[in-house]
C-alpha cells in the first residue's frame, strides 16, 4: 500500500517554559484535520524533556527533531521545513485552536488559486473579537511607533498604527494582504523552492515580514481567509505590538535594522 502524500506539514516549536502547551493544540488540530492529511513536526531545544516523551506517546504520528543551541525560532522552523514532505508548510502558535473546516478551507483555497503563495486564517479571541494578525508592510515610521516612545510623542502615531494594523479593514471578509504573521502561516511548497526558507539572520522578530516581502517580490500573492477560523486561547498570547524591553532590545533593534535594509535594498519597488 502506497503512503499518502501529506497535504500540510504542521511545523511546531516545543517551548520548555510551557512544556504541556502542545497537548491541547494537537488534540484540537487532529480532531478537525479531516480531510486534510497532516504531517506534524516538533522541533525541541530540550529533546530529553519528560513532556516530549509523553507527547510522543500521546501522538505517535508526530516527528520530534532536536534543535541544538540557543533558542532561535527562525532556525527551528527552517529545520522542520527541510524535513517536511507535504505539499504545503505551516507554522502555528501553540495557543491557537483551529476550528472545524479551518484546515480544509486553507488547503482548498490554495489548491484552487495557484498564484496564491501564502495564506492565513482569521484569528479571534474567546469572545470572537478579531486579532490583528494581518498587517500592512511596515515602514520606518511604523517600526518606530511600534517599538519606541515615539508612539506617545508623535501626533500622527495613532493613524500610522491604525493603518498598519488594518483596523478599518473588514476582517469578516477575505482579502489580499501584504504581511501575514507567522502566528499561523501556510506556505505553498513552490514558494520555498522559488525564494528559499526564512532568513536566519533574523533572531526572533520580522522573519515573517521579510518572507512575505520576498514572496510578493517574486510575484506570489498573499491571502487572508476570513472563512478559515482559529481561536486564540488566552489573552497573554495575543499578537499585539510590542515595546522594547531591556533584555529584548539588542535582538529587536538588529532585526528591525535588517528588515529595513533588506526592504530598501531590494531591486524593485513592491506595490503599495
CATH of the domain at 54: 3.90.550.10
Round to whole Å and give the CA distance between 55 and 62: 9
Predicted confidence at residue 267, as pLDDT, reads 57
Query: Residues for the chain: how many in total?
Result: 272
C-alpha cell at 235: 489573552
Is there a domain that residue 260 lies in? no
Pseudo-torsion of CA 91, 78, 261, 158, nearest 10°?
Answer: 20
Report pTM.
0.90
Count the domains in the chain: 1
17 in a structural domain:
yes
What pLDDT is recorded for position 70?
47
Residue 1 lies in a domain: no
Residue 191 lies in a domain: yes
Q: Mean pLDDT in runs of 10 for the chain (272 residues)?
A: 81 91 96 96 88 93 80 90 96 96 98 98 93 90 89 89 92 96 96 97 92 96 97 62 55 91 69 43
Does any domain span residue 245? no
Sorted by sequence, the CB contacts under 8 Å of residue 78 that are 6+ apart come out as 197, 198, 200
Alpha-carbon gap, residue 92 to 102, rounded angstroms: 13
3-state SS, the chain, equals: CCCCCCCEEEEEEECCCCCCCHHHHHHHHHHCCCCCCEEEEEEECCCCCHHHHHHHHHCCCEEEEECCCCCCHHHHHHHHHHHCCCCEEEEECCCEEECCCHHHHHHHHHHHCCCEEEEEEEEECCCCCECCCEECCCCHHHHHHHHCCHHHHCCCHHHHHHHHCCCCCCCCCCEEECEECCCEEEEEHHHHHHHCCCCCCCCCCCHHHHHHHHHHHCCCEEEEEEEEEEEECCHHHCCCCCCCCCCCHHHHHHHHHHHHHHHHHCCCCCCC
pLDDT value, residue 231: 96
| Domain assignment of residue 201, yes or no | yes
Residue 143 forms part of a structural domain:
no
Residue 272 inside a domain? The answer is no
Show the domain range for 84.
8-137+163-240
Amino acid at each position: 500500500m502506497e503512503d499518502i502524500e501529506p497535504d500540510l506539514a504542521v511545523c511546531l516549536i516545543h517551548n520548555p517554559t510551557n512544556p504541556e502547551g502542545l497537548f491541547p493544540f494537537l488534540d484540537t488540530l487532529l480532531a478537525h484535520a479531516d480531510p486534510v492529511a497532516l504531517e506534524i513536526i516538533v522541533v525541541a531545544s530540550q529533546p530529553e524533556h519528560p513532556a516530549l516523551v509523553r507527547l510522543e506517546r500521546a501522538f505517535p504520528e508526530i516527528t520530534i527533531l532536536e534543535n541544538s543551541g540557543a533558542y532561535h525560532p527562525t532556525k527551528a522552523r527552517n529545520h522542520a521545513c527541510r524535513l517536511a514532505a507535504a505539499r504545503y508548510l505551516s507554522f502555528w502558535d501553540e495557543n491557537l485552536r483551529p476550528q472545524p473546516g479551518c484546515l480544509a478551507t486553507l488547503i482548498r483555497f490554495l489548491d484552487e488559486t495557484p498564484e496564491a503563495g501564502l495564506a492565513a486564517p482569521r484569528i479571534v479571541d474567546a469572545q470572537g473579537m478579531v486579532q490583528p494578525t494581518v498587517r500592512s508592510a511596515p515602514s520606518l515610521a511604523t517600526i518606530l511607533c511600534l517599538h519606541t516612545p515615539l508612539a506617545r510623542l508623535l501626533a500622527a502615531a495613532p493613524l500610522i498604527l491604525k493603518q498598519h494594523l488594518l483596523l478599518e479593514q473588514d476582517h469578516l471578509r477575505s482579502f489580499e494582504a501584504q504581511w501575514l504573521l507567522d502566528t499561523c502561516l501556510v506556505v505553498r511548497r513552490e514558494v520555498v523552492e522559488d525564494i528559499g526558507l526564512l532568513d536566519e539572520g533574523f533572531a526572533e522578530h520580522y522573519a515573517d515580514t521579510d518572507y512575505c516581502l520576498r514572496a510578493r517580490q517574486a510575484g506570489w500573492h498573499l491571502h487572508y481567509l476570513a472563512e478559515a477560523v482559529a481561536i486564540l486561547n488566552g489573552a497573554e498570547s495575543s499578537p499585539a505590538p510590542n515595546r522594547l524591553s531591556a533584555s529584548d532590545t539588542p535582538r529587536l533593534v538588529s532585526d528591525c535594522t535588517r528588515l529595513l535594509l533588506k526592504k530598501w535594498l531590494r531591486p524593485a519597488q513592491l506595490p503599495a
